């Protein structure tokens, strides 16, 4: 008789125990079994214990207590308890029943099922020491050739990150079956050996759904999203039915690439094939739509979900933050708390990001303080990094540095990087040098630290220091990550690198870049060449900026997509100031909606405006002195007679452009005046007498 599948016919009363059985109902069934003497049979007793343990983990304690009153439990009973615990929140208790098997007075001996479930328990608790002891017992009892135990050992070592041990187990199998082959493919894919995983996958004579899902997940986890989608397409061609696990990996790949069209197709596939919308799958859909820039659809999926957990709420809150909807992010966070869902550490990272993107400093600080005060959540490095970013983006550089100095743990690269970025925006060279030095100490190969510091020096035209930074980068072997932008057209993702001329339609792209440049200049565009880190002629700088990857991708979108179709770009780096301004102008000149997802957030461009409302670049514009000139100021008595110059005077003045979204202002500071004047641009233009020079 098998120790797992009891051959004794199950009693009809025992059949009443199922997943919905409550504790009171369970006690009633138990009473009937006792009255009828059914539990006197050790095999039927084992069936009853197993039914309780395996049907509902909530009743696992009841089955444990019941087993304690049994004088001669069978191996089937013990194995059922080991199996139930290995799938529960208490997998370590499986070993108690294994010890009882070994200590049994009825000469019980563990079998292949015992070890199959024990290795799963070891994988659950991630104890390598326990796993090796169980592996030794497997060899001692002679079950090392059992295919279920073999696949279980491969799975166990894979969960612990011991890929060499996975290979050793697999290499000792003379003729591995489908389960073992799938296990080793999953192990290799999980830990990044996707080339070997694909080789083993292709060599499999038969591939089941688990193998396909594992290979797709491996590609997605390693960032090889295009390969993941290609394999998914091959899976469709071969007629393999997809399940929830596969679709989660497919959606993850679409998310990484920003492939909204393919993500929409995956959503349609889910609905057409009536796949169950589990919490995991629904959350993956929300994440895909949010990170592909379609927050309306993400919210639609969110509202339609019957069941939501903290990860679902966090995903949609993070999506709103990424898309610049900081206030809506906080509104949803309030709804989450009202719904009784307790936020976790990741939720607060999303909330703090939402505050940061719209400059809600006080609200962000309050939410940060509430972590410890209300929810007993100790802020981690990521939370302090968000707080530094919150203060830094708002221009409170001293407060940002104070946060770093007061951190209870050693500041990480994220905190110093956030401060360095703020110093770049606010032109604080001294603090920027400090942040860069600290960042390089932590991550010597971090190209971003060198590039941002170079930006600060280049902005001040300190070309010698720019050269020094580049020489240090060269000496340390640090290479700047090339900009890469991706755009999806007709379900195919096209990638462009800075200065890339390899695309088969590049001649058309170059022609469109020229047309864009021509129209921009007609609209009054002047390239912002400060981010170009070389002391070269302005014309060369403008050409360098023209070849940024997102501009190439936008040009390709203009020649490839129909007029009404939005252009969606995904970039691996932060969008530079010039590209941000150019994209705003393109959206108006060409009447196109353009979405750019960079390393930090989304920018939605429409009618010459951006969803960030200039917040990411407002400081650059705020401190820009436009003109040092002679300004004709009219007295209040002459304001009613604009044609008279008798009461007007000409004074030296400085004119500044101040951008305080959404309305720009022009500030005129005149010699002898106690207060500055705020005028509209036409009024300024009509009253300038003589321009001495432009700063």
Q: Which residue do the tokens 């401190």 mark?
A: 623
Q: How far apart are CA 144 and CA 203, in angstroms?
A: 24
Report whether pLDDT(467) > 80. no
Flag the least confident range among 24-38, 130-144, 148-162, 651-665: 651-665
Residues 61 and 264: their CA atoms lie apart, in Å, by: 45
Query: Of 103-112, 363-372, 396-405, 526-535, which gets the smallest average pLDDT?
Result: 526-535
- Residue 64: phi, psi to the nearest 5? -65, -45
Please give the pLDDT value at position 62.
Answer: 80
Name all contacts of 334-338 with Cβ < 8 Å and 24+ positions apart.
Answer: none
- In degrees, to the nearest 5, what angle opens at C-alpha 591 toward C-alphas 564 and 503? 70
Give the per-residue pLDDT at 685. 40
User: pLDDT higher for 165 or 564?
Assistant: 165
Between these two residues, 636 and 356, which has the higher pLDDT value? 356
pLDDT reported for residue 445: 63
Q: Encode pLDDT of 29-50 as tens digits.
A: 877 777 777 777 777 877 887 7
Q: What is the pLDDT of residues 46-70, one digit of tens each?
A: 788 778 777 777 777 788 788 777 7
User: pTM for the complete prediction?
Assistant: 0.71
The answer to whether 83 touches 98, Cβ cutoff 8 Å, is no
Mean pLDDT score across all residues of the chain: 80
Residue found under tokens 């300004």:
631
Contact (CB, 8 A) for 585 and 608: yes
What span, in angstroms and rounded, lies between the C-alpha atoms of 134 and 116? 10
pLDDT at residue 447, as a whole number: 67
Highest-pLDDT range among 367-371, 506-510, 548-552: 367-371
How would you classify residue 37: left for phi > 0, otherwise alpha for psi between -120 and 50, otherwise beta? left
Task: Provide DSSP, 617-659.
Answer: THHHHHT-EEEEEEEEEEPGGGTT-TT--TTEEEEEEEEEEEE
Per-residue b/e over 427-457, b at no fewer than 16 CB within 10 Å?
Answer: ebbebbbbbbebbbebeeebebbbbbbbbbb
Q: Where are the domains of the chain?
A: 484-618
For 557-585, what is the mean pLDDT?
87
In the predicted model, is pLDDT for residue 328 greater than 90?
A: yes
Q: Percent of the chain beyond pLDDT 70?
A: 79
SS3 label, residue 44: helix
Report how far residue 134's alpha carbon sits from residue 147's, in angstroms, rounded to the nearest whole number: 16
> What values do phi and psi take at 485, rounded to 5?
-125, 140
Q: How far apart are CA 229 and CA 233, in angstroms?
A: 6
- Residues paired with 606 in a beta bridge: 609
pLDDT in the model for residue 634: 44
pLDDT of residue 34: 78
78-82, 95-99, 611-615: least confidently modelled range:
611-615
The alpha carbon of 266 is separated from its chain's Cα centroid by a whole number of angstroms, namely 19
């Amino acid at each position: 008789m098998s120790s797992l599948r009891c051959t004794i016919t199950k009693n009809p009363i025992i059949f009443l125990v199922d997943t919905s059985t409550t504790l009171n109902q369970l006690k009633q069934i138990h009473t009937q079994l006792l009255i009828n003497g059914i539990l006197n049979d050790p095999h039927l007793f084992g069936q009853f214990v197993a039914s309780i343990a395996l049907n509902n983990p909530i009743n696992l304690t009841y089955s444990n207590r019941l087993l304690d009153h049994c004088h001669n439990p069978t191996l089937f009973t013990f194995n059922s308890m080991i199996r139930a615990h290995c799938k529960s929140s208490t997998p370590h208790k499986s070993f108690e029943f294994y010890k009882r098997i070994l200590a049994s007075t009825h000469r019980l001996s563990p079998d292949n099922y015992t070890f199959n479930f024990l290795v799963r328990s070891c994988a659950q608790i991630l104890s390598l020491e326990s796993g090796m002891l169980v592996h030794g017992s497997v060899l001692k009892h002679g079950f090392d050739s059992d295919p279920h135990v073999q696949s279980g050992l491969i799975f166990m070592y894979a969960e612990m990150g011991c890929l060499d041990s996975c290979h050793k187990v697999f290499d000792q199998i003379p003729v591995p079956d489908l389960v073992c082959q799938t296990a080793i493919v999953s192990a290799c894919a999980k830990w990044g050996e996707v080339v070997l995983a694909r080789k083993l996958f292709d060599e499999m004579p038969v591939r089941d759904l688990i193998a396909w899902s594992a290979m797709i997940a491996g590609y997605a986890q390693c960032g090889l999203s295009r390969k993941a989608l290609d394999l998914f397409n091959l899976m469709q061609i071969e007629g393999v039915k997809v399940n929830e696990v596969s679709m989660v990996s497919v959606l993850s790949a679409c998310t990484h690439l920003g492939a909204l069209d393919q993500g929409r197709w995956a959503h349609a596939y889910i609905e057409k094939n009536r796949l169950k919308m589990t919490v995991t799958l629904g959350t993956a859909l929300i994440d895909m739509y949010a990170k592909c820039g379609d927050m309306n659809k993400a919210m639609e999926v969110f509202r339609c979900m019957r069941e939501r957990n903290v990860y679902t709420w966090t995903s949609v809150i993070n999506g709103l933050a990424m898309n610049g909807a900081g206030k809506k992010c906080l509104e949803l966070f309030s709804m989450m708390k009202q719904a009784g869902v307790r936020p976790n550490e990741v939720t607060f990272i999303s909330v703090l990001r939402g505050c940061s993107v719209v400059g809600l400093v006080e609200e962000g600080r309050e939410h940060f303080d509430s972590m410890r005060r209300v929810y007993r959540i100790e802020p981690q490095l990521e939370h302090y990094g968000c707080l530094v970013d919150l203060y830094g983006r708002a221009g409170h550089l001293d407060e940002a540095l104070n946060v770093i100095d007061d951190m209870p743990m050693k500041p990480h690269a994220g905190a110093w990087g956030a401060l360095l970025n703020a110093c770049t925006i606010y032109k604080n060279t001294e603090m920027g040098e400090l942040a860069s030095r600290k960042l390089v100490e932590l991550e010597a190969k971090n190209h971003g630290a060198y590039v941002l510091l170079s930006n600060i020096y280049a902005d001040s035209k300190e070309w010698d220091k720019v050269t020094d930074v580049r020489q240090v980068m060269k000496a340390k072997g640090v290479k700047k990550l090339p900009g890469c932008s991706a755009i999806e057209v007709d379900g195919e993702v096209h990638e462009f690198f800075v200065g890339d001329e390899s695309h088969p339609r590049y001649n058309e792209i170059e022609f469109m870049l020229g047309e864009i440049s021509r129209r921009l200049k007609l609209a009054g565009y002047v390239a912002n060449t400060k981010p170009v880190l070389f002391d070269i002629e302005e014309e060369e700088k403008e050409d360098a900026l023209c070849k940024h990857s997102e501009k190439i991708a936008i040009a390709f979108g203009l020649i490839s997509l129909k007029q009404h179709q939005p252009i969606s770009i995904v970039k691996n780096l932060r969008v530079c100031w010039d590209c941000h301004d150019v994209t705003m102008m393109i959206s108006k000149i060409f009447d196109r909606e353009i979405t750019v997802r960079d390393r930090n957030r989304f920018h939605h461009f429409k009618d010459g405006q951006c969803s960030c409302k200039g917040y990411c670049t407002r400081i650059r514009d705020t401190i820009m002195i436009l003109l040092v000139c002679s300004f004709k100021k009219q007295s209040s008595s002459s304001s009613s007679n604009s044609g008279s110059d008798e009461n007007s005077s000409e004074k030296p003045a400085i004119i500044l452009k101040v951008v305080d979204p959404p309305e720009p202002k022009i500030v005129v500071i005149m010699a002898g005046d106690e207060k500055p004047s705020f005028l509209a641009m036409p009024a300024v233009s009509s009253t300038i007498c003589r321009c001495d020079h432009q700063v």
